[in-house]
Structure 1
């Protein structure tokens, strides 16, 4: 019994702040909904948040279609969250997931269109691999610059996000534009599209994302490189004195992070969108940061956080239809979750919650990285 109590205590210390952040975000958003109702034709309605949240839940999990939409929306968030979380483990803030996502989506779209007539068992995996390699290449650049020159990954990845949008817009317009369409876009995927496993939209990318969760968990917990990633993230100087390779680990981590983001873009392209065109949103890349923070950079935590955010996106349309609460309230809830996660110390003091030591250490590492502290890859 004492072991169970200690285990439950550890789980609570790790999960308490994410849970409290979600609850507080819903409470504050409820206040916003009530106040907003005063300025609508319905007038003040203190019970409107309950109806809105009920519709949100029903839209996400109340039917087979809702569950399918939730899983489809969660799949790229799982991979994007893993990309950000893996960087956090090494003390790196990969804010360039959006650009890596777009590069992966573009590479998958171009290769997929070229192989549209090939057998699906060949075309789809090759297109998926192309997306992964595209994202990895775009993640390698800031990782190498960080490791070799100390260039801050936040600065370089933000610049590369903009570069990705502009370069891919040029490429679609002038290099790979498919004929016969009134706007610039890549060709149809044909047999390169991911197969549908269930219903109308549950595609192969969903089990791929879940497999990635356990693969990253295995990498971090069961391999030498994973141990070095965690050690470099917690104390790069100690890792260097212990004979580890911070330069290699920094480059490797950002490359793997980019690979995961590229796979996220590829499965979204091959399983949902179907073609690349300028203006395709990369909001998944920025939502992935929130997913990684909410999941505490733990692969299993990221899985559940991504499902939650996927449920937000899947349930929002029904919420707006049934209660007239705009879907933008979901963005407010997500922003509030991040706010309360960032106010970790305040929330713990108010609710008298103790933090698990690894969580405190990880948050401190991320804070130092964001603030421009000692680069993990610095030194020989």
Structure 2
């Protein structure tokens, strides 16, 4: 029985590793079918994205929105809530920071940057609070509301950049440049890596302290573990649900703000290439661990960063990388199902 318990306790550690390994193995088969060498393809992918100066800078750039949004999904999961609305919250956060960057001029960077970040957080937080309120006070399923709010946010931003926020004489839908005082500084010279990654890592540290070392974190975990018992213990389940969904939206909003303030310097119609949906996979793969979210965000960012290099050097389509991401989600779902089944027998 003791051996079974040890094996069960190790499952949360090994199942994500096995899921990633299985996805890479199946990906190798797909690369073979594409007529390329899997070893050469993976070497090109990870060597470029992790060991070269410009490639690593690009990886950090892509890691920033992934980490912010994954933390948002994670804190909701710790309270038993499923935030599928990260993509829409990214768009709203990008909108909020753009408005501050465009319409507040003449401010010093020490004031302008925090204000733009705060606006991004607040816009995303509002977009997260809405499904939190509907779930807590009206019993509306948060999966449905967060998913539908994605489409509203995407189309709202699309309308704005095609009409009132469109830059004069712009050939496509995007806003004017935000003020230089609202732009995040570059941390690796002559690369795309900006200070947003530092802010995301700080957010991860704060979230770890919140969840592991604070009374509020205990309440969040209690609601996620057993909301009925938490209610009997005097914890307001409704308030906790609204709080975590608001924080989740705010963190994803910071992802959108960092894309505008650190990378694009303007609001585009397509702010995110799907970071909000990748974040769901990252959070589930990380099994509720903030540290694991950081590492898994780096892994997914490396996949995105090295995809084009893999295509050029090994002749492997970029779609193979997206297939690997999807397979990772599939295998972690299988691993979770098997884990619950094994735990039920122990």
TM-score, with length taken from structure 1: 0.84
Q: Residue 256 of structure 2: which of 243, 257, 265 is its match?
A: 265
Task: Say if 1:59 and 1:317, in contact at 8 Å, map to a contact too.
Answer: no
1:194 aligns with 2:192: no
Q: Residue 341 of structure 1: which of 332, 340, 344 is its match?
A: 332
1:41 — aligned with what?
none
Matched residue SS, 1:67: helix
Q: Residue 178 of structure 1: which of 147, 167, 170 is its match?
A: 167
Aligned partners of 1:324 and 1:296: how far apart in 2? 34
How far 1:11 moved relative to its partner? 7.9
Q: Residue 266 of structure 2: which of 275, 278, 284 is its match?
A: 275
1:289 — aligned with what?
280
Q: CA, structure 1 residues 312+101, in 2 after alignment: closer, same or farther (shift >3 Å)?
A: same
Aligned partners of 2:215 and 2:233: how far apart in 1? 13
Unaligned regions of 5+ residues in structure 2, if any?
A: 1-5
Flag as ranges the 4+ runs of structure 1 deviating above 4 A: 8-12, 345-349
Measured on the aligned residues, the alpha-carbon RMSD in Å equals 2.1
Unaligned regions of 5+ residues in structure 1, if any?
A: 1-7, 38-44, 361-380
Task: Say if 1:98 and 1:284, in contact at 8 Å, map to a contact too.
Answer: yes
What does 1:143-182 align with in structure 2 at a 5 Å threshold?
Answer: 143-182=132-171
1:77 — aligned with what?
66
How far 1:180 moved relative to its partner? 3.7
Aligned partners of 1:81 and 1:322: how far apart in 2? 31
**CA deviation profile, 1:290-338 (whole Å, cap 9, x unmatched):** 1101111211110000001111111111111111101111111111111
Q: Residue 199 of structure 2: which of 208, 217, 223 is its match?
A: 208
Q: Residue 30 of structure 2: which of 22, 28, 32 is its match?
A: 32
Q: CA, structure 1 residues 11+310, in 2 after alignment: closer, same or farther (shift >3 Å)?
A: farther
Q: CA, structure 1 residues 221+166, in 2 after alignment: closer, same or farther (shift >3 Å)?
A: same
Aligned partners of 2:218 and 2:109: how far apart in 1? 38
Aligned partners of 2:12 and 2:342: how far apart in 1? 9
Matched residue SS, 2:83: coil
Number of aligned positions between the proteins: 338
1:375 — aligned with what?
none
Aligned partners of 1:336 and 1:279: how far apart in 2? 25
Aligned partners of 2:296 and 2:274: how far apart in 1? 16
How far 1:185 moved relative to its partner? 2.2
2:298 — aligned with what?
307
Task: Say if 2:259 and 2:271, in contact at 8 Å, map to a contact too.
Answer: no
How far 1:120 moved relative to its partner? 1.7
